[in-house]
Amino acid sequence: MKHIRSIITLGCLAAMAATAGAQGFRSGGGITDIMRAGPRLGPPAARPSTAPAAVPTQRAAEFIVALVNSEPITNTDVLKRVDRLVKENPDAERVPRNELTRLVLDRLITERAQLQLAKENGIKVDDVAVDQAEQTVARQNEISLTELRRRVAAEGISQPEFRSDLRDQLLLTRLRDREVEAKVKVSDSEADEYLVDQRNVSVKNAALQNLNLAQVLVALPETATDAQIATAQQKAQSIAQRARAGEDFAKLVRENSDSPDRENGGAIGMRTADRYPPLFVDAVQSTAVNGIAGPVRSSAGFHVLKVLAKSQLGSADATVTQTQVRHILLLNDPKRTTAQAVAQLAEFKRRLQAGTADFAGLARDNSQDASAKEGGELGWSRPGQFVPEFEEAMDRLSPGQISDPVVSRFGVHLIQVEGRRDAKLSQSEQREAARAALREKRVEEAFSTWVQEVRARAYVEYREPPQS
């Protein structure tokens, strides 16, 4: 449940992008990770007082603790966030309560200022996008939507509150795209210099490697008993032993895995190590290509991993898993709601599956993308080339499959994967991969500065300090 709580509790902008990567859970972080989720802003300065100290009296739990451009943040808002934070991160309990509440209040102030800016800029997120985000959270936790909602309710979070949190995350992500990402550029010479730097770094640095892993997941329910855990562990150990003895791993995946990627032989695809769960990277760090690692335990269950490929960005043999893909895009349009665009693309999918329409023809006639004239063809793509919403859906498709309509920040897509291959990167492709890696680093730096600027421009009035 850590991944679910990280999205609804921390307001971390990277949380939704992160779901575009590997299957399985990402490991939860401690209190230091929480503080890195946003800029470190000092606690509010003490307000001077000339009145004599009052005799302590009992106070109602609900009152305004701060105003952000006249919008209130209540004591309940702060305490709810603190409670979630402590549930997710036991380390948080070691932080003095008054310090924790002040840090959470500052976080809420920063988020509220950004959300107000998103509203001023006319950025909106409709219910269809929130529906898709909810489904993505369920998939990445490898549970059904019904089970996700049950677990959220068990945490004391109402469905409207959960969806409101998801909507805010999408708003903040789209604001970041508009205000920060679009303005960060990396030149060819900077990308080439970055490549040279990577060649001079030890190959043993796993964080800089490209990895292609396959997995067998033996899933466990969140409330698994000791007997269930022992049975699942025994099954995973047996699978690992059979794989090490030479049995076909893809066959073991098809017959035993509880992960959605089992139809692809468990292969997750060639991508940079930082786009895998740290648990996976640590497990395979000393495992050779074609070697077996695990089983390793996550919140999802037990994973048996096979290393399909390793390479180093900048090396002569650097490879990635490329996907040949095409799409039909219906842009966000005031004259057509997202729900109407979804319905239209769902009808296109029905016609395609019935054999009464041709994908290329539908793309040429309807797609509002530059690829329309090419029948929607986007060519061979590498990991990280598309926005997370698109790539997460694309990665779940086998060659020949067509997605359900996918909502992104650009509009609604219908996606078809035509093929996959592991290919060595040309010099120009390595440059583009380096440009993307360097740009991502600069976006994080620019975002931190931008957030502080937004926070500084906001009018903040502190009222009463939060009280438990």
Predicted confidence (pLDDT) at residue 436 exceeds the cutoff of 90: no
Condensed to tens digits (0 to 9), the pLDDT of residues 372-431 reads 999 999 999 877 788 888 888 888 888 899 999 998 888 899 999 999 887 777 777 777
Cis, bond preceding 72 (omega within 30 deg of 0): no
Predicted confidence (pLDDT) at residue 320 exceeds the cutoff of 80: no
Condensed to tens digits (0 to 9), the pLDDT of residues 263-317 reads 667 777 667 777 778 888 888 888 877 788 888 988 788 999 888 777 665 555 5
Q: Which pLDDT score is estimated for 45?
A: 30
Phi, psi of 332 (to 5 degrees): -60, 125
* DSSP string over 325-336: EEEEEEE-BTTB
Query: Model's pTM, two decimal places?
Result: 0.61
- pLDDT: is 245 or 39 the higher one? 245
Q: Which pLDDT score is estimated for 261?
A: 66
Predicted confidence (pLDDT) at residue 139 exceeds the cutoff of 70: yes
Q: Which pLDDT score is estimated for 327?
A: 96
Gap between the Cα atoms of 18 and 269, Å rounded? 15
Tell me the β-bridge partners of 64: 74
- Sheet holding 64-68: strands in order across? 71-74, 64-68, 460-462
Predicted confidence (pLDDT) at residue 15 exceeds the cutoff of 80: no
| CA geometry: angle 357, 362, 368, nearest 5 deg | 165
Q: Which pLDDT score is estimated for 348?
A: 95
- Sheet holding 209-219: strands in order across? 271-272, 209-219, 301-312, 292-298
Gap between the Cα atoms of 425 and 423, Å rounded? 6
Predicted confidence (pLDDT) at residue 244 exceeds the cutoff of 80: yes
- In the chain, the percentage of residues whose pLDDT exceeds 70 is 80
Rg (CA), the chain: 24
Mean of per-residue pLDDT scores for the chain: 77
Q: What tokens appear for 421 in the block?
A: 């291959």
Predicted confidence (pLDDT) at residue 34 exceeds the cutoff of 50: no
- Place 21 in a pLDDT band, splitting at 50, 70 and 90: very low
User: Helices 338-354 and 127-140 meet at what angle, rounded to 10?
Assistant: 60
- pLDDT: is 433 or 20 the higher one? 433
- pLDDT: is 272 or 442 the higher one? 442
Predicted confidence (pLDDT) at residue 239 exceeds the cutoff of 80: yes
Phi, psi of 311 (to 5 degrees): -155, 165
Contact 304, 294 (CB under 8 A): yes
Q: What structural domains and CATH numbers belong to the chain? A: 2-44+60-181+458-462 (1.10.4030.10), 204-312 (3.10.50.40), 320-424 (3.10.50.40)
Residues in contact with 27: Cβ distance below 8 Å, sequence separation at least 6, in sequence order: 2, 277, 278, 279, 298
Which whole number is the average pLDDT over 23-52?
29
Q: What tokens appear for 94 in the block?
A: 């070691």
Gap between the Cα atoms of 220 and 259, Å rounded? 11
- In the chain, the percentage of residues whose pLDDT exceeds 90 is 16
Gap between the Cα atoms of 100 and 342, Å rounded? 43
- Place 365 in a pLDDT band, splitting at 50, 70 and 90: very high
- Place 260 in a pLDDT band, splitting at 50, 70 and 90: low
Residues in contact with 14: Cβ distance below 8 Å, sequence separation at least 6, in sequence order: none
Gap between the Cα atoms of 392 and 396, Å rounded? 7
Contact 260, 342 (CB under 8 A): no
- pLDDT: is 1 or 341 the higher one? 341
Q: Which pLDDT score is estimated for 209?
A: 66
Handedness of CA 150, 21, 24, 40 (dihedral sign): negative
Condensed to tens digits (0 to 9), the pLDDT of residues 154-187 reads 888 888 889 999 999 889 888 888 888 878 888 8
Strands, E assignment, 197-352: 209-219, 271-272, 292-298, 301-312, 319-331
**Closest residue by Cα to residue 139 from 339, 381, 397:** 397
* DSSP string over 86-116: HHH-GGGGGS-HHHHHHHHHHHHHHHHHHHH
Condensed to tens digits (0 to 9), the pLDDT of residues 49-93 reads 333 344 344 444 688 988 998 899 888 888 888 888 887 777 777
